[in-house]
Structures are given as C-alpha cells and as structure tokens.
C-alpha cells in the first residue's frame, strides 16, 4: 500500500504505478499507453485509480477512469485534483 501524500512527483508516481502493475519502472514511460503497451484492462485501471485515490487522498469518480491511460494523463488528473482539494 503506497504511503499517503499530497505531494505530486512524477518519478514517485511512476514508481507507484510500476508497483501496482508489477512491471519495471522503465516500462512506465511518460506516454506509454496503459492499455496498449502495459496490458492494463478496465479492472486494473480501476485498481490504479483506487490506489492513487488513497495515496494522494483525493476523490475520483467513474468518469475519471478514462483518464487512467498513461503516466502523463494520470499525472495531469492528479495535479488538477490536488489543486482543487
């Protein structure tokens, strides 16, 4: 379980997502497509969302699932959530 934080750091996020996906950090490039490149199916995307919600203590809705598609898009999503939190 990732440690809770409200500080968003791209490398920490990469590490966290690599842990959830059980892949090497290097595979989680900024723009790697989760679905196409990392075999992330809809349930795994949900797992990522729930883990990030807890780690960054933000609230995400079902509509945010479609933004769980690459490291950068997740980073942007979290950045927006943390600004409004």
Residue 18 contacts other proteins per CB under 8 A = no
Per CB under 8 A, contacts with other proteins among 40-69 are 43, 46-47, 50, 53, 62
Query: How crowded is residue 10: how many other Cβ atoms within 10 Å of its Cβ?
Result: 13
We find the least distance from the C-beta atom of residue 28 to other proteins, in angstroms, to be 20
We find the least distance from the C-beta atom of residue 50 to other proteins, in angstroms, to be 6
Q: What secondary structure does DSSP assign to 62-83, as a single string? A: GGGGGGTTSHHHHHHHHHHHHH
Q: Which two tokens stand for residue 54?
A: 């807890």
- State the angle between helix axes of 42-56 and 10-21 in degrees (0 to 180), rounded to the nearest 10: 140
Nearer to other proteins, 47 or 67 (CB): 47
Q: How many residues bind other proteins (CB under 8 A)?
A: 6
We find the least distance from the C-beta atom of residue 52 to other proteins, in angstroms, to be 12
Helices (H) and strands (E) in the chain, counts: 4, 0
By CB under 8 A, name the binding residues for other proteins: 43, 46-47, 50, 53, 62
């Amino acid at each position: 379980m990732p440690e809770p934080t409200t500080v968003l750091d791209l490398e920490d996020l990469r590490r966290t997502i690599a842990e959830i996906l059980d892949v090497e950090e290097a595979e989680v490039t900024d723009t790697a497509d989760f679905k196409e490149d990392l075999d992330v199916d809809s349930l795994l995307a949900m797992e990522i969302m729930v883990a990030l919600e807890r780690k960054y203590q933000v609230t995400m809705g079902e509509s945010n699932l479609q933004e769980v598609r690459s490291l950068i898009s997740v980073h942007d999503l979290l950045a927006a959530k943390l600004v409004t939190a």
